[in-house]
Chain A
Amino acid sequence: MARMLPAKVERGRFRRRLIALFLDWMSWGYVAYGVMYFLNDYWWRIPLERFYSTLTLPPWGWPAAVLGTLAMAVVCELTGYSLGERALKLERKRERPLTKEELLRGRAAGKPFWRTQWGIMAVLLLALTVALGWHIVKIDPEALIHPSPRAREMLSEIFPPDFRHFRVPDPAFELRGLPYSILDLMVLTIFMALLATVLGAAVALPLSFLGARNIMGFSPAGWLVYGVVRGFFNIFRSIETMLWAVVFAIWIRWGSPLAGIMALTVHTIAALGKLYSEQVEGIDPGPVEAVVAAGGSRAEVIRYAVLPQVIPSFWAFTLYRWDINVRMSTVIALVGGGGIGDMLFYYKNEGKWALLGAVVITIVAVVWAMDYLSGRLRERIT
């Protein structure tokens, strides 16, 4: 055992060195990218390729870039200007990683970070990022101070907002032949969020137990189910509600509230499922052991030992999710999800700013109230 230990440490250290080298390589690649961007932007001015022409390289450029950045990374590792070593708390010519105390002591006794070697690199990279961002996004303070003529028109019209169609439907705006007022659509939007949350929570609740390690991790089959459920949560969570809305708008119908509900539901299942199952994993094992010792089955363990511990936080998460769903459902119409967004984007496209102002104020009032209410309720519950 004692003889195996150094080898193990050595292997870990080798891996860390590799990761450090990789990080340095990536940061130098980033620098090269930035340089290429500025070169393209200022010197070449090739009209067609100037459009974010960041990856245009001559044929010999790619190998040169790859090898050149790698060489720079190696040089950095050797001279000490290495961000990767710093990030992994490695130091050159040292047998072991620095401990936290040593690092702290070194920092307190030594130079300020912007005069250390890695600090110089970090500051340079930050400056490069800001400069790149400034040019890629085309930040233009002048455009902010001098608004376009359309903006002046909008500002003069939007105050005061026109609440004429709050209760009485606007004859110019129809959805599938039916007239809707702002209030009608706002209520419909809240209902969409409600349905999505209830459906999502109803599906996520049983799934969350299948995705909890302390419930499932007693047998190989259990581990398999756990892995599958967790993978499902992770994959579906990273697909955004808006993308789901695109899919369901094609599937069901563009502008159908059901498409928005389904999109919100799918994302809610994944997000709530993850939160729920993490909560289940964090419970106190004492009651579980007690019920098991009394001869309880798995269902009884869940009913009498797990559920009482997690129900308050389940409520809190569900309320939180409802809040998010209300926010999302107001704009999901953009990609065909239905709700008050239909009206919002209709007035925006028509340029009826006063009516748009009324819609926006209604949305703000509702979202703000939901935020406040769910915050207060969550405070009470937990």
Chain B
Amino acid sequence: MPPGYPEAYLKGKPRWMSLDAVADFFYFGFRNLRKQLSIAVLDMGAVAVLWLLMNYVIIRLSTGQIGYTLVPWWIFGVGVVEAAALWESFGRSFGHRVARLELRRTDGREPTLKQKVLYWLLWHVSVLPLFPLLLVPSPHERGSGLELRPFTMEGRVPRPWWRTSTGIYVAWLMGVALTAAISVTVSWEDLVRLFTKAGTTAKFWRSFFSPDTSIILKTIRELIVTVFMAMTATSFAVLVAVPLSFLAARNLMRGVVGRFIYTVIRVTMSIIRSIEPVVWAIFFLVWVRVELAPFAGVLALFVHSVSDLTKLYAERLESIDPGLIEAIAATGANRLQILRYAVIPQIVNPYISFTLYRWDINIRMATVVGVVGGGGIGQALFFYLTGNLWQQAGTVMLFIIALVWGIDYLSARLRAKLA
């Protein structure tokens, strides 16, 4: 044994062989990968959106057609990647700004041009194959002597937004997007009609002051059906959503199985929630017999309410005060008792208030669901509209407005009382 060396250096394993070091490598590596990749993806996405929109505008304004690309897809791909690389190397990119980072030298000073060029070149061999990003610091950062540091305004003069690259980008994006939107949705003759044909709606407004009295009783009956549709859908949805919300609360679902159930329920609910009640109504109107139209409407509202209420309830559950749970648990209570004395008192009022809110929405939605044939007042409205019975349609609209206004007021008052 050579003299002068500590024994551990010679007999112990080197650090890189220990399990901790391997775990550390992957932990920090994946963190770095995630950071760099999300910045790159954000930048590429930003460039791609702007590019596509500009092409859209150019094609739309020059040919009147709808199109998305003027160049082959591989040129588009290379262009997007290259633009993102340039933006990240030579300026403070959109992704940097979102992540609140900036590119500086390791000693905190401004990078030189040579370093920026080096960073840009190495970016391609480091970010594009992805796996070099597992090294900390990443090869392109190490090679150029730069690093991404938390952004600070210290010792700097703030620049107005139009002198920052992200500001210019956002302004361009908004301008191009609005141009594209106007070019495709607004036509000249529609615009002319908007400013000259307001008189065509007079037949509605007139019926607001002289409603067709012969259909009032019938309309009230339909109104009652609509209210009961919303009420039934909401009450059944509450019965399903309350148990589901406990399974969809992150703080209550611990462990692998719990997290799995949580994820499954949350994802299902968010997918169900993205389908409008009207689309659900289309589905259920086919599903049940034709004469059960209100039932189909209720099913549509029910499905959408369950997903929405589960989300609202679960978010409320996630924000309960854990101190109370600990206090009750410290007295030796079992899970049921914890639920009864620590969780439920905290959530009863918000749950009732969410339910009222949802009931309010369901009444609005029930009128809309009726229009596709889901029964209630919406169906009556659609009947009069398709029959060109404007005065009757106006009368029904008057009733809908009164109902929605009343329910809105009532639920707002009740919710204010509960809060």
Contact = CB atoms under 8 A, between A and B. Distances in A.
Q: Are A and B interaction partners?
A: yes
Interface string B225-248: 100110110010000000000000
B193 A257 contact: no
Given A139-B298, A331-B278, A371 B229 contact: no
Contact of A371 (B274, B298, B393): B274
B228 A136 contact: yes
Interface in B269-316: 270-271, 273-276, 278-279, 282, 286-289, 292, 294-295, 297-299
A334 interface: yes
Contact of B294 (A138, A150, A151): A138
Contact of A262 (B180, B194, B225, B385): B194
A334 B221 contact: no
Contact of A52 (B221, B292, B371, B408): B221
Contact of B228 (A137, A143, A184): A137
Contact of A139 (B200, B295, B372): B295
Interface string A115-131: 00000000000000110
B190 A252 contact: yes
Contacts of B204: 247, 250
A154 interface: yes
B113 interface: no
A251 B232 contact: no
A144 interface: yes
A327 B276 contact: yes
Most buried by B among A137, A151, A239, A257: A137
Contacts of B276: 327, 330-331, 363, 367
Contacts of B228: 132-133, 136-137
B409 to A, nearest CB: 9
Interface residues of A, number: 67
A242 B385 CA distance: 13
A252 B295 contact: no
Most buried by A among B231, B276, B401: B276
Interface residues of B, number: 67
Given A54-B221, A133-B228, A148-B286, A360 B279 contact: yes
A125 to B, nearest CB: 12
Contacts of B279: 331, 344, 360, 363
Contact of A258 (B178, B190, B292): B190
Interface of B: 56, 66, 68, 98, 177-178, 180-182, 184-187, 190-191, 193-194, 197-198, 200-201, 204, 217, 220-222, 224-225, 228-229, 231-232, 235, 270-271, 273-276, 278-279, 282, 286-289, 292, 294-295, 297-299, 364, 367-368, 371-372, 375, 381, 385, 393, 397, 400-401, 404-405, 408
10 contacts: A133-B235, A140-B292, A140-B295, A154-B286, A191-B181, A191-B185, A252-B194, A258-B187, A363-B274, A363-B279
